[in-house]
Amino acid sequence: MNSTPASLSQLEQLKKLTTVVADTGDFERMQAFLPQDATTNPSLILKAAQQSNYQDLVNSVKAAHPGMSPTDLVDYILVAFGLEILKIVPGRVSTEVDARLSFDTKATVVKAKHLIGLYESHGIDRKRILIKLAGTWEGIAAAKELEAQGIHCNMTLLFSLVQAAACGAANAKLISPFVGRITDWNKAKLGSNWSDSANGGANDPGVTSVKRIFHYYKHFGIPTEIMGASFRNTNQILELAGCDLLTISPELLAELQNSNASVEVKLNAANAQTAVQAEGITPLKLDESNFRLQLNNDAMATEKLAEGIRNFCVDTEKLEALLAK
């Protein structure tokens, strides 16, 4: 296994193998970690908007748009945080479309164009923005349309190879396969039969899911970027060293920064053919009915996708309530 010098922190070592992304709306906190990109979602923006140090930002957005409905104001808040983040990261920021539109392709496209328009009105090149869409059939169809118009998409709430294959076929710029939530589901399912030694590390179900997607994409020449997301601990992150990108919370970035243990490459495109053959993975040809059936037959992916959309809807409504005060 290749590894980098242990005199560097694990975060510095990881950056040599993988593009490190900050998963937070708290842009002041991310500065310490010098990430390349940053990702946000309704839950992260809600959390940041409630912090005292961001009240001036929230109030300035409200003052600039008197009389605007809280629903419309949310877009301006998302972009305001995104603009501040872009002053810190040299790369891209991901901004999420309202999760309540997850099953409406047309409305998703309209909302995505509106968000891009807001960024462009501030002089930001659309190449620096990733529009986050849920990995539903409708979200993936919207991504296909948006990518054709030069609006790049980050497909989120992604829990299965079926979703990943459909996103690749739609030419999505990037996918965010979730790790921790897959592990959570399997841990709950196994209950007392779960064992950290047997079901953790390289065998962690969230980790193996991303590895499978990585090998599928690399073997079949799919250029869509893979960004592991939703981590519960640094072990999950380190097991995916070598993935295209990894988006990591400030708490886990700090843990990586404070450790000097050696980091090894775990994912390598050169091994994709062997891995695909060993796992018997074949190319997935997915029309809408195939996609829905295969996703439906994956209980974990179906449940976690539905739960994720519900939770983002709730937090968007909480953000609206906050802005209505």
Question: Which residues are known catalytic residues?
Answer: 132
Within 13 A of 129's CA, how many CA atoms are on the CB side?
Answer: 30
Whole-angstrom CA distances from 183 to 190, 211, 300 are: 10, 14, 10
Task: Evaluate whether 85 touches 23 at the Cβ level (below 8 Å).
Answer: no
Distance CA(8)–CA(268), nearest Å, equals 22
Distance CA(269)–CA(225), nearest Å, equals 12
Distance CA(172)–CA(165), nearest Å, equals 10
Q: Which of 18, 8, 2 is nearest to 248 (CA)?
A: 18
Task: Evaluate whether 210 touches 240 at the Cβ level (below 8 Å).
Answer: yes
Paired sense of beta strands 153-158 and 19-23, if any: unpaired
Within 13 A of 98's CA, how many CA atoms are on the CB side?
Answer: 26
